[in-house]
Each structure stands twice: as structure tokens, then as C-alpha cells.
Amino acid sequence: MAVYRFKTPISEEEVRKLKVNDVLYVTGTIVTARDQAHKRALEYHKLGKELPVKLEGLAVFHCGPIVKKEGDKWVAVAAGPTTSTRMDQFEDEFIKAFKVRVVIGKGGMGKRTADAMQKYGAVYGAFTGGAGVLAAKAIKNVRTVEWLQDLGMPEAFWVFEVEDFGPLSIAIDSYGNNLYEDVKKKAEEQRMKIYEKLSA
């Protein structure tokens, strides 16, 4: 296990240093996107419409934060990850279209996303589910928010400036390794043994 600290924009060369089980901390810009924001960003891309930030080399975070307004500034209160599998249907296109280098979430992603990560150079960093304050502490500034009006607080596209955002456990690397698949395979191998023990 190696520990890396990267600043955005992250290059393909940098991201390809990361292997599963490594730990990454990100400093720079990350954007949140859940189901609806992924869908809309890809629609914008198709129509040639600009997003509020250029995503190349940034991290996309599967997160629906609690954010509160202090004066005219937004402050992140709690901002842990949401379940990433819901975004599997968009993520390969998203990585291809926007060249994000790090996808942050919880619970892992499937082969389609892992294949895109291998092809275009990106990784999946697992942030501890539920650790919402730990995440919020690393968010130093809320730069902007898009689509808040109609998508609401959890689904909006938040742009955060972060410092040492992590620990992100690299669970899918750009070489086709997927820690979740390994764990699942092992659990599957255990299943019959567990049955036997339970029925003894």
C-alpha cells in the first residue's frame, strides 16, 4: 500500500501510478454528480453546451451533500459518498467525454466503468461511506453550484475546492483490477462452506 497526494488537474501519467489498495488524497477541484447530474452533464456535452468548470483532470464525487448558506457563501456541513453503482450506466461515457481522472464514491462500480478507466486512464477511489464530516472538513470552499433550483440540494452539481480530500482507497485502478470484484469472488467461494457449517 502506497500513499499518494495529487493536485488537480491530475494527468493520465499520474493516475496510472495508482494501484488497487493504494491510498490517495486529492487537493484542488472536485465536482459532485449523482444520477441526474450525470445525465444532464452528458446531455450538455452532446449539445456542445459548456459546464461551469472544465472537468479534465478533476475528480467527480458521487455525493449528495448537506450544504448551508452562511451570509452569501455556501458551506459544506456533511458530504460523504453515495452508492456508486447507480452511476454505472453513465460513467463510461462520462469518463470518455470529460476525461475526469478520479471517480469518488462508495460501494464500487462494475466492469463497464472499470473498462473505461483502463482505456482512458482513471481510477475509482472509495471514500468511507457515512464519514460525512470528515469529507466536509476537507472542503475548504464551495466555488459554485449548478442546477440547484430544479435538482435540489442532493442532486445538484456542486463545485468544491478541497485540501487533502481522503483517504480514498483505490478500489479500481487503470489496469482492470477491481477490489470489489475480488472480494465478491471470495465471498462467493465461501458461500457453500458457510451453508455447510450453518446446517451442521
Partner 1 sequence: MTEFKKVVEDTALSLLKLAVVQLPSDIKDALNRAYKEETSEAGRVQFEAILKDIELAEKENTPLCQDTGIIIFYVKAGAKAKDLDAIETALQNATRRATKEIPLRPNAVDPFTQKNSGDNTGRYIPYINWEITKSDFVEITAFPKGGGSENVCTIGMITPGEGINGLKKFVIDAIIKAGAMPCPPTIVGVAAGGGADISIKLAKASLLRPLNEPNPNPDLDKLERELYEAANSTGIGPMGLGGKFTVLGVRVDYAHRHPASYPVAVAFQCWAARRATARIYPDGTVEYLTHKAR
Select from 9-17, 58-66, 95-103, 140-148 the region that touches partner 1 (CB under 8 A): 58-66
**Residue 136 binding partner 1, by CB under 8 A:** yes
2 scored as a contact of partner 1 (CB under 8 A): no
Check binding of 183 to partner 1 (CB under 8 A).
Answer: yes
Tell whether residue 52 is a contact of partner 1 (CB under 8 A). Answer: no
45 annotated active-site: no
The three state secondary structure string of the chain is: CCEEEEECCCCHHHHCCCCCCCEEEEEEEEEECCHHHHHHHHHHHHHCCCCCCCCCCCEEECCCCEEEEECCEEEEEECCCCEHHHHHHHHHHHHHHHCCCEEEEECCCCHHHHHHHHHHCCEEEECCCCCHHHHHHHEEEEEEEECHHHHHHHHCEEEEEEEEEEEEEEEECCCCCEHHHHHHHHHHHHHHHHHHHHHC
Looking at 11-19, 43-51, 52-60, 134-142, which segment touches partner 1 (CB under 8 A)?
134-142
Beta carbon of residue 104, minimum distance to partner 1 (angstroms, whole number): 13
Annotated active-site residue in 18, 22, 31, 38:
38
Catalytic residue numbers, as ranges: 38
By the criterion CB under 8 A, which residues form the site for partner 1? 1, 21, 23, 63-66, 68, 77-80, 82-83, 85, 106-108, 126-137, 152-154, 167, 169, 171, 179-180, 182-184, 186-188, 190-191, 193-195, 197-199
